[in-house]
Structures are given as C-alpha cells and as structure tokens.
C-alpha cells in the first residue's frame, strides 16, 4: 500500500512537472511569436522614422544649397540659367537637383536649363516665393510626363523686391539612395504620397507600383482592405501592414512627413525584415532546445529515481516475505467492497488446512479451531473488524492439525475512505507460542505457589476483592473456605518433606477437582488452603466442603501413625464480610471451632 502511494505521488509529480514544462514551452512559443512581431514592427517603425528624418534633412540641405545659388546669382549684374549651371559644377556632389529654372514674377513662365519654358503661374511653389516665402511642392512636367519634387525660393534685390523665383527640381532616385541605409536593399522602394493615396513622387524603373498612381488603387486591386489604413492616415498616424505580392511577401510602412498632407511610404520585402528577427528566433530556438534538454535530463533522473525506488520496494517486499516465512507469520488482505479476504500460503504450511475465513464477514462466525475459552474474545475482535474499527489485536490458542495447542496473535489495521467507510484491511497472524509460554511461566511464578500450582496469598486476595468490585458479582452470594490438613505435622516430621510435599500436591489436586474452573483455589502457607466459590448458597457451600473432606479421606494419605484429613471453616458473602480480610477472619474462627471439636469436618461461621 505504501509503495503504491509512493508511485502515485511520483507519477503525479512527473505529470505536473511535464505539464508545467509543456505549458511554459507553449506559452513561450506564443510570447516569442508576439515579441518577434513586435520586434519586426519596431524595426520597421524605427527605420521609417529614420528615413523621414533623413529625407527632411536632405530637403533642408537642398534648400541651403538653393540659397547659396540665389546669393551667387544675385551678386551678378545680369544672370541666366547658364550661370547657375557653372556654379553648380563646383557643388555637384552635394546636389540632388535635376535642373534649375528661373521664373518671371510677371508672367509666371519658368525657363529651365535645357531651354524648356513652362507656365507655372498657377502653382503654389511659384506663388509662395512671389510673396517672399520659400516653397516645396510637386510639379507635373508636361514636357517629359514626370512628377517631380520642386523647391523654390524668391530672388530678392538689394531693395528687397522679388525680382524672380529660383526653382530646382529634385531627382527622386538620388534622394532615395541618399537616405537609404544598410537596412534596405535595391528591392525596397520609397514613395511620397498625399493623404488620398496619390503617389506624388516615385523613383526609377522596375518598382512594383510602376503602373499605379494611387496606393489605395494598388491595394484594392490586391484584395487588401484599406479602411483601417485610410483611417490611420486621416488621424495622421504611422502604421505598418503586410501583403503578398505574388509569391513575395512585402511589408508596408507609412509615416506622416509633417509637410502639407504628405506621407512617406516604404515598401520592403519580407527577407529584409526577417533577417533582423532571425537572431531572436534563433535565441528562442536555443532556449527551447535547452528546455527540452533539461526535460530529457529530468526524465533520466526521474527514471533512475523510479527504478531505484522500484528496486528498493522489490527488495523490501522480498525481505518481508522472507521474514514472514522465517517467522512463520501469516499475512492477509481484505477488501470490504468485494467482501473477500486473501491469506498467504503460510497459513496452510503452519496449520495444514485452508483458513476457515474466506471473507471478512466470516469473522462473525465461531472459529472451529480456536479453543473454546478464547472463542468469545476472538469473535468479539472479529465483529470489530467487520465494523471497520481502525485497529485490533488479540492473543488466542489454536488447535493445530497434529493435536497440539499453540498461541497466536491476530493483528489488523483498517483503511477508510474520506467518508469514514472501511475499504481495505491488512493484518498478520503471528505465532507467539514460545513467548506466551514464557509469559505464563513467569506469571505462574509470580501468582502461584511453586509447589502446588495453587494461587499464592497475594494473588488470591486480589482476585477475590476484584470479584467484589465487578457489578455482575457484587450483588450475588459467594462463599470462602479455609482448609487445614489434620495430622500433617506427624507425616511431615516422621517421614520427611517428600511425603509431606506429596500430601500437599495431592490435596491441591483433590480441591481443584471438586470445584469449578471459575472458582479460586489458593495456598496460604504450610498446610493451609483457601477456596473461593462464586455464586453459591450456604447449602451449596457446606455440600462442597463435605465433598472435599470425603475425597481427601478416600485418598488415604497416611502413615503408620496417622491419617491425613482436613478441617474446613466457611464464611459467606455478604453475610460474614464484603472484603477478603473480613471473610478470612470469619472462616478462620469457624475452622478452629472444627479443630476443637474433633477435626475432619466443616463448620459455618456464626
């Protein structure tokens, strides 16, 4: 039972341990995916912010460059676009401009370096500089069909009058390449769009939006819901989403530029982003591997522990079985639900027969091989076992197959369920014959007269007084007889102690044969004996005294000079006393009355 409980606890611990590990691995996997997604979005967000800052810085640099051009040409008495071209040759490595143009403030016509003349009088990037402000805008060049980012500043003379407007068109691919960094590659694309999704500027050939002028048109054509994207744009918020472009997965990031209602829109292939998350995934895989390795080590340790515990239990069981066989112990196990009792083979080896109790309920029946004097006590213990009393034990005598009588001890223990109902019982039947014989021998030495086997004075007195304390006996009538041998001194002195001892032993046997086993027979000393008769009347007591006198006379314990007879004094409970000493005094007086009137008779106390 203890071993089963131990394994139950072990397997429960194992189940909980691996359940916790499994839960942690699943939870870690979920957390890892979430963190990887957050890490990816964070990377895209940070790089979009960086490119926005870089773009604004680049535009500011181009404004500064345009200011330098303005100062240069305003220092000339007369100037043309050729003068600008000559000046920019020295600053080309700073410049992202495609070409420059000077617009007439009166007509609004701009003349570019290539000689193209275009009317821009309706454009904001012309109107703002006319009023003395620099401007940034997009211009659709009808000559070559391109939409270009345009920077413009006023040219102001020494009198503070705007004489013309200096315009520079920016090279979009050149700007994009200058603000990219090592996070992106050639398959990443950068666009400027307005809050309506219209692409204001895109660079180069071969990009995946080449055939589209509006981002939302492209997304809707690819079955991508644009409602949330448009909502975020209206709220001027940065956002990130992904979509599959054929077999390629791309991440889209859009961020407000803070200029007009423009947005910087970035399109990046998945592999560019995934290599940043791969290190984290590798770290996660490494941790999971370590957890699995730890679980494996735990399995080995638990297996070793279980194997060791199993071996230990097995050895313990073998030692117990061996001890049972050597000691002759009989073990049994009972099941209350099935009402069965299983007894080991030692029962047959010891008694040469099958046990008479095959079920737990068999204990309510009298056991045929238990001595009659012990059956009642054994059956009482059996009823306690049937009722499920937690523990019990009893010593009893058993009649063996060879006719011998041996002492055994029956010990049991009952296990109950949570409701208190008995479920199992376990126990042993242990041979204690040698021990009981030693105990009885010691008990006889303490309680009985060593010569005759009758109770000694102290034991007899205690036994009698205990009877008076028992409720069942205290209200009944009893009798106590004091018996003294007549002429014993002549035999003992004339023929020696051997014949005297023989007379004492014979007298004891005659008295025991004359009374019941429940009565007490004692030797007070010398040739004086005492008998306590339970539950008798005065007539029954006198009749029993007459029987003893007659039996002793017939025994013919005699010598050439004398015959051993006896004189008896009788006292009755409760008439003559209620304790041993009171009855003794009364019986002793009656005895001496008999001695004084001729001996070999009996007398009742007055």
Active-site amino acid positions: 527
Q: Please give the Cα distance from 533 to 552 (Å, whole number).
A: 18
Q: Please give the Cα distance from 312 to 323 (Å, whole number).
A: 16
Contact between 167 and 150 under an 8 Å Cβ cutoff? The reply is yes
In DSSP notation, 458-498 reads HHHHHHHHHHHHSHHHHTS-EEEEEEEEETHHHHHHHH-HH
DSSP 8-state code for residue 123:
S
Give the pairing type, strands 565-573 and 602-604.
parallel
If 0-12 CB within 10 Å is exposed, 13-18 middle and 19+ buried, where does residue 588 land? middle
- What is the C-alpha R_g of the chain? 61
Q: Please give the Cα distance from 235 to 219 (Å, whole number).
A: 20
Q: Please give the Cα distance from 188 to 182 (Å, whole number).
A: 11
Q: Please give the Cα distance from 443 to 447 (Å, whole number).
A: 6
SS3 state of residue 371: coil
Q: Please give the Cα distance from 186 to 207 (Å, whole number).
A: 10
Length reported for the chain = 606
Contact between 128 and 104 under an 8 Å Cβ cutoff? The reply is no
If 0-12 CB within 10 Å is exposed, 13-18 middle and 19+ buried, where does residue 582 land? middle
């Amino acid at each position: 039972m203890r071993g089963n409980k131990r394994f139950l606890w072990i397997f429960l611990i194992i189940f909980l341990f691996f359940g916790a590990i499994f839960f942690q691995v699943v939870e870690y996997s979920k957390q890892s995916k979430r963190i990887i997604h957050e890490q990816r979005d964070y990377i895209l967000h940070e790089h979009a912010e960086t490119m926005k800052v870089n773009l604004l810085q680049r535009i500011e640099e181009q404004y500064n460059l345009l200011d330098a051009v303005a100062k240069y040409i305003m220092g000339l008495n007369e100037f043309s676009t050729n003068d600008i071209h000559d000046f920019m040759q020295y600053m080309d490595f700073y410049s992202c401009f495609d070409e420059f143009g000077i617009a007439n403030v009166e007509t609004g016509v701009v003349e570019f370096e290539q000689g193209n003349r275009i009317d821009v009088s309706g454009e904001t990037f012309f109107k703002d500089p006319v009023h003395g402000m620099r401007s940034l805008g997009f211009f659709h060049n009808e000559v070559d069909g391109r939409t270009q980012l345009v920077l413009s500043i006023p040219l102001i003379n020494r009198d503070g009058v705007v004489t013309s407007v200096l315009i520079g068109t920016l090279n979009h691919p050149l700007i994009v390449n200058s603000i990219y960094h090592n996070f992106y590659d050639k398959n990443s694309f950068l666009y400027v769009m307005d809050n309506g999704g219209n692409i204001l500027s895109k660079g180069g050939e071969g990009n995946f939006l080449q055939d589209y002028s509006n981002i939302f048109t492209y997304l809707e054509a690819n079955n991508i819901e644009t409602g949330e994207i448009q909502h975020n744009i209206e709220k001027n918020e940065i956002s990130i989403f992904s979509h599959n472009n054929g077999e390629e997965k791309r991440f889209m990031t859009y961020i407000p530029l803070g200029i007009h209602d423009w947005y910087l829109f970035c399109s990046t292939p998945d592999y560019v982003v995934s290599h940043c998350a791969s290190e984290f995934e590798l770290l996660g895989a490494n941790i999971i591997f370590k957890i699995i390795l730890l679980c494996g080590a735990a399995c080995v340790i638990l297996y070793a522990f279980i194997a060791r515990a199993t071996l230990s239990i097995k050895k313990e069981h073998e030692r117990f079985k061996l001890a049972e066989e050597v000691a002759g112990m009989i073990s049994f196990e009972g099941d209350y639900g099935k009402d069965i009792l299983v007894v080991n083979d030692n029962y047959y080896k010891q008694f040469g027969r099958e046990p008479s109790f095959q079920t737990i309920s068999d204990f309510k029946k009298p056991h045929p091989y238990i001595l009659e004097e012990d059956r009642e006590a054994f059956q009482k213990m059996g009823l306690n076992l049937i009722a499920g009393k937690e523990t019990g034990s009893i010593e009893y005598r058993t009649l063996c197959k060879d006719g011998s009588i041996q002492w055994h001890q029956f010990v049991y223990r009952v296990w109950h369920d949570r409701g208190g109902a008995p479920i199992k019982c376990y126990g042993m039947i242990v041979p204690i014959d040698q021990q009981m014989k030693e105990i009885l021998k010691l008990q006889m030495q303490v309680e009985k007269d060593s010569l005759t086997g009758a109770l000694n004075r102290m034991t007899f007195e205690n036994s009698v007084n205990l009877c008076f304390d028992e409720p069942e006996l205290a209200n009944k009538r009893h009798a106590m007889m004091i018996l003294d041998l007549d002429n014993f001194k002549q035999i003992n002195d004339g023929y020696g102690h051997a014949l005297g001892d023989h007379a004492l032993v014979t007298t004891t046997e005659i008295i025991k044969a004359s009374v019941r086993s429940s009565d007490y027979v004692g030797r007070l000393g010398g040739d004086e004996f005492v008998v306590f008769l339970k539950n008798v009347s005065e007539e029954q007591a006198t009749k029993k005294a007459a029987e003893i006198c007659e039996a002793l006379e017939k025994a013919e314990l005699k010598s050439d000079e004398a015959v051993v007879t006896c004189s008896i004094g009788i006292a009755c409970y409760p008439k003559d006393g209620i304790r041993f000493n009171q009855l003794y005094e009364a019986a002793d007086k009656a005895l001496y009355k008999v001695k004084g009137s001729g001996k070999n008779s009996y007398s009742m106390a007055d």
